């Protein structure tokens, strides 16, 4: 079974209602017979009354039933039923301006919407709407539409108001859109915790677990490589990526077809090409990788290049193990590496 964090760390997480541990473990309460997410709002039980499991399946098999408050059987962060009319309106009307009155007309409490967006997107609902409008406006200006036309068709009453909002969001004025690049950033949920995805103009350039210590370094590298600014927003590549990741974690997908836009040196790209040649369900050693690129003496350099891979799972650096067969060197944590290898061998597909 995949490794869990130590008990003290997990208990501290449930005491602090820390939702960043979503997907990493579930906590079961012996005195009530229920199991919960780490961030459940219910009263924190005593340490001696809890036990921890890796999956909902394990929790159920040990006789626990799901909590009605945090609904551990659902996908954390997915749009709940009560929010779906709002999300549908946003999808259908990209430039929609949805005020509190509009939310109430849809039977939705504005305060509840604000809390959900703050928790799941790290921004208010109105900030989310503004970001979506600016994301689309950037693309239209970049492809030749006049700034003034974009401003008014995006629902702004004045060019100055549009310009100010655009600059606050992107860091540059609309007129510079044709010479600037933007990498859109979003959070994608997984059974192993939330991931940060980034999309450049031609494909996915980032897919990392949000708690990876090297994430900030990766973001700086990507910004420099693409000469781009990072902006929360939507990309045409995100829906496909999200769909394929869900299929992968369900055991229904072995290969990814989402376009990639890879940031790296020629040597790194050569190493990553070899990674992508490792078949699903199989592993290779760093030496095997070095031999595959035609340089058996480059084992250490190969290991370093694997560490700089910014597109986890799709470029499967988790399939590389030590020459002695032990799990080594995975930025997302060895427990995640073990989970992914077990998933690909058919051992731990969630049911």
317 has catalytic annotation: yes
Q: 203: which strand partners? A: 200
The DSSP output letter for 260 is B
Q: Are 271 and 298 in contact (CB under 8 A)?
A: no
Cα angle 333, 317, 239 (rounded to 5 degrees) comes to 90
* Residue 234 to residue 132: CA distance in whole angstroms: 7
- For residue 53, which phi and psi values (nearest 5 degrees)? -130, 155
Helix (H, G, I), strand (E, B) or coil at 317: helix
The bridge status of strand 228-232 relative to strand 181-188 is: parallel
Token pair listed for 73? 């059987």
Q: Which of the following is catalytic: 40, 70, 205, 317? A: 317
Q: How far apart are CA 124 and CA 97, in angstroms?
A: 14
Question: Length of the chain in residues, anyone?
Answer: 351
Q: What are the catalytic residues?
A: 317
């Amino acid at each position: 079974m995949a490794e869990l964090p130590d008990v003290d760390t997990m208990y501290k997480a449930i005491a602090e209602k820390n939702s960043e541990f979503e997907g990493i473990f579930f906590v079961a309460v012996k005195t009530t017979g229920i199991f919960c997410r780490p961030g459940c709002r219910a009263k924190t039980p005593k340490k001696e009354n809890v036990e921890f499991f890796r999956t909902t399946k394990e929790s159920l098999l040990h006789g626990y039933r799901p909590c009605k408050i945090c609904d551990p059987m659902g996908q954390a962060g997915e749009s709940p039923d009560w929010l779906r009319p709002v999300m549908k309106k946003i999808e259908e009307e990209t430039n929609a301006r949805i005020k509190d009155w509009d939310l109430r007309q849809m039977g939705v409490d504005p305060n509840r919407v604000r809390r959900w967006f703050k928790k799941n997107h790290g921004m208010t609902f109105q900030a989310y709407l503004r970001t979506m409008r600016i994301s689309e406006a950037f693309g239209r200006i970049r492809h030749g539409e006049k700034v003034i036309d974009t401003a008014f068709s995006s629902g702004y009453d004045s060019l100055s108001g549009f310009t100010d909002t655009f600059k606050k969001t992107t860091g540059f004025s609309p007129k510079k859109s044709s010479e600037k690049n933007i990498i859109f950033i979003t959070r994608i949920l997984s059974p192993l915790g939330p991931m940060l995805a980034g999309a450049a103009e031609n494909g996915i350039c980032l897919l990392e677990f949000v708690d990876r210590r090297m994430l900030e370094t990766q973001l700086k590298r990507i910004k420099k490589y693409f000469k781009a600014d990072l902006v929360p927003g939507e990309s045409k590549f995100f829906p496909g990526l999200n769909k394929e990741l869900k299929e992968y974690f369900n055991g229904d997908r072995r290969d990814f077809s989402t376009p990639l836009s890879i940031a790296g040196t020629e040597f790194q790209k050569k190493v990553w090409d070899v990674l992508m040649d490792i078949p699903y369900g199989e592993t290779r050693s760093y030496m095997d990788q070095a031999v595959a690129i035609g340089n058996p003496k480059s084992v250490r350099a190969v290991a370093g290049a694997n560490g700089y891979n910014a597109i986890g799972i799709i470029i499967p650096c988790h399939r590389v193990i030590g020459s002695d067969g032990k799990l080594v060197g995975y930025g997302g944590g060895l427990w995640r590496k073990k989970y992914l290898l077990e998933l690909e061998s058919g051992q731990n597909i969630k049911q």
